[in-house]
Chains A and B, each alone.
Chain A
Amino acid sequence: MNKQTIKCVVWDLDNTIWDGVLLENSDLKLKPGIEDIIKTLDRRGILQSISSKNDHDAAMAALKSFGLDEYFLYPEINWNAKSYSLAQIQKNLNISMDAILFIDDQEYELQEVKSVHSSVHCMNACEYRSLLDDPRLIPRFITEDSAMRRMLYKTDQLRKQAEAEFNGPSEAFLASLNMRMIIAPADEHDLQRAEELTVRTNQLNATGKAYSYEELDRLRQSEDHQLLITELEDRFGTYGKIGLALVHMNETCWRLKMMLMSCRVVSRGVGTVLLTHIMQEAHRAGKPLLADFRDTGRNRMMNITFRFAGFRDKFTEPDGTMVLEHDLRSIPQFPPYIDVVVQQ
């Protein structure tokens, strides 16, 4: 399956979203069709941001007058180098550079960004009409989560502000969120989102293997597999369906074939919660627990999660997959700051 997807489009403003230069011209006109493009990308769950050398307040006011201001997350409207702006957006969204498409009308800016971030995708603004047909911008499914993705990130922005204003240990901040995590067997209507998660998730992804809808549907109904999906919410609202795990229940052992958590919840420390649940269940079933880990170059955090939860090397598969084992002699409790609801 093709994993080359764009998660975020970063737009320049002058002569890219609108014709003309804001600070020289009071009579700006949107480029023909641009409004439809921005709104369509938004419905597809593609995030959008701005990198523009402009006066911030004037530019936001212009966007507002076009009714487009709400569509952009973490806009960078200032006089910094665009490579710096891109780095800020990337950090704020917690996605990788190669999941960003940068659009600008000036070849100089495209080159400057590319020279610092070689993996970022660049496009000259004159090609903007091809955007909606670009396969990198056409997800296989539009899920409930993708349609509300921008809102999910907006809520995250509020959480980040609250965190920045919070004094005390980071753990105490987590406690102030009143988090609730629901762990449930994946239902048929979860499968599109489940496939999407296997394609989109990098950092907390144990194997990096993408699963298709059909595969997941088969596994969901298989007698000897458990496909679990988790949802997280807190006092700010829901994070959506953010975690997935696949357990193969053998005669002699349980084997965690896949486990992942959306990059949006990495800072919530909930990866370990799902892992703890599976450890508890394996223990209850009286089976040893194995877990697959494959180094993708991006998922070190998952490796650390496993090892710090007490997993150790067991053996390595011929394809390089490391198989880890937990002796289940000591299983951590769920953290006090999160309410875990397990549905059967």
Chain B
Amino acid sequence: MDYRHVIREFIRDNLSIEHEGAAFSDDDNYFELRFVNSLFAMKLVQFVEQQFGIVVENDELDLNNFCTVNNLVKFVEAKKAKEAG
């Protein structure tokens, strides 16, 4: 599955970064670029869990895992690899 594409799409549909004409790269921290509310945070975690069939544990609820497209792709890949291994 193309994790990156799906994740980017989700961010785009929920935050209005691109809507406002700004570009953001896969390394941009969208939590720093703008105010991210608790609803988005919850939706993001749920989206990742449902979309990729993983469970995010308490100690993985680290902002660092979720704050850029690249970090999130890395996190999902690591989780999937652990599962497969």
Contacts and interface: CB of A to CB of B under 8 A. Distances in A.
Interface string A244-277: 0000000000000000000000111111110000
Interface residues on A, range: 20 to 34
Interface of B: 12-16, 19, 31-32, 34-42, 45, 58-59, 61-63, 66
Contacts of B14: 169-171
A272 B14 CA distance: 17
Contact of A308 (B13, B16, B38, B59): B38
Contacts, number: 74
Interface string A188-205: 000000000000000010
B38 A307 contact: no
A335 interface: yes
A304 B35 contact: no
Contacts of B59: 313
Contacts of A332: 35-36
21 contacts: A168-B16, A169-B14, A169-B15, A169-B19, A171-B15, A171-B16, A175-B16, A204-B38, A269-B38, A270-B37, A295-B58, A300-B42, A304-B42, A304-B45, A305-B42, A307-B63, A308-B36, A308-B41, A310-B63, A312-B62, A332-B35
A303 B63 CA distance: 12
Contact of B37 (A168, A269, A300): A269
